[in-house]
Amino acid sequence: MGIRGSKSSQIYLDDVRLPADALLGEVGGGFRIAMSTLDGGRIGIAAQALGIGRAALEDSLAYAQQRRTFRQADRAAPGDRVQARRHGDRARRGAAAHAARAWLKDHKQPYGKEAAMAKLYASDVANRAAREAIQIFGGNGYVTEYPVERHFRDAKITEIYEGTSEIQRLVIAGYLTKGG
């Protein structure tokens, strides 16, 4: 559907046997390693979502400012611009949150909860911004000639991979109920 620059394929591993020295980490520690890898990846997906949201915002602003209908400035544009700005504010707040999460990781502090929060929030903002961008472009938003249908397709994956939004909520709730 989206992120077409990143090709995904299925691979099958049947009856694979590896030598003992190919073990990563400790026996029985695989799940923990896999989960900690996801924590780090979630910061990256939050950054990806912010980029998509920002592109949707910038494209929408540019389009709303140049769009003319019936030789007038587009009547819908001022309202759209307000909406676009609102998404801009959210994106900026998300960016601040994201910077804080990356800082924790860089300083070797626990960041699992914060990474899940950053991903959940940034992916939500990106999807709303991309959906609004299509609306601001109108019919032009729906066709492939303009960039925003791509933002819409690309944004969706950020709510799915590296753990879906529902799973982020479970992860965050888990930390909060444990007092984390």
Q: Is 154 a binder of ligand FAD (CB under 6 A)?
A: no
Rounded to whole angstroms, the Cα distance separating 74 from 78 reads 8
Q: Contact between 89 and ligand FAD (CB under 6 A)? A: no
Does 8 contact ligand FAD by CB under 6 A? Answer: yes
Q: Check residue 13 and report its DSSP letter.
A: -
Q: How far is the C-alpha of 78 from the C-alpha of 64, rounded, in Å?
A: 8
Of 135, 151, 152, 157, which is closest to residue 45 (Cα–Cα)? 157
| Tokens standing for residue 98 | 């994201």
Find residue 69's DSSP bridge partners: 72
Residue among 87 and 156 whose Cβ is closer to ligand FAD: 156
Quick note: the x/- pattern for ligand FAD over 105-134, rule CB under 6 A, is ------------------------------
Q: Which is nearer to ligand FAD, 148 or 171 (CB)?
A: 171
Active site residue 162: yes
Is residue 153 involved in binding ligand FAD (CB under 6 A)? no
The β-bridge partners of 73 are 68
Single out the segment in contact with ligand FAD by CB under 6 A; choices: 66-74, 134-142, 157-165, 171-179: 157-165
Q: How far apart are CA 121 and CA 104, in angstroms?
A: 17
Give me the residues that bind ligand FAD (CB under 6 A), please. 8, 157, 160-161, 163-164, 166-167, 170
- Just list the catalytic residues: 162
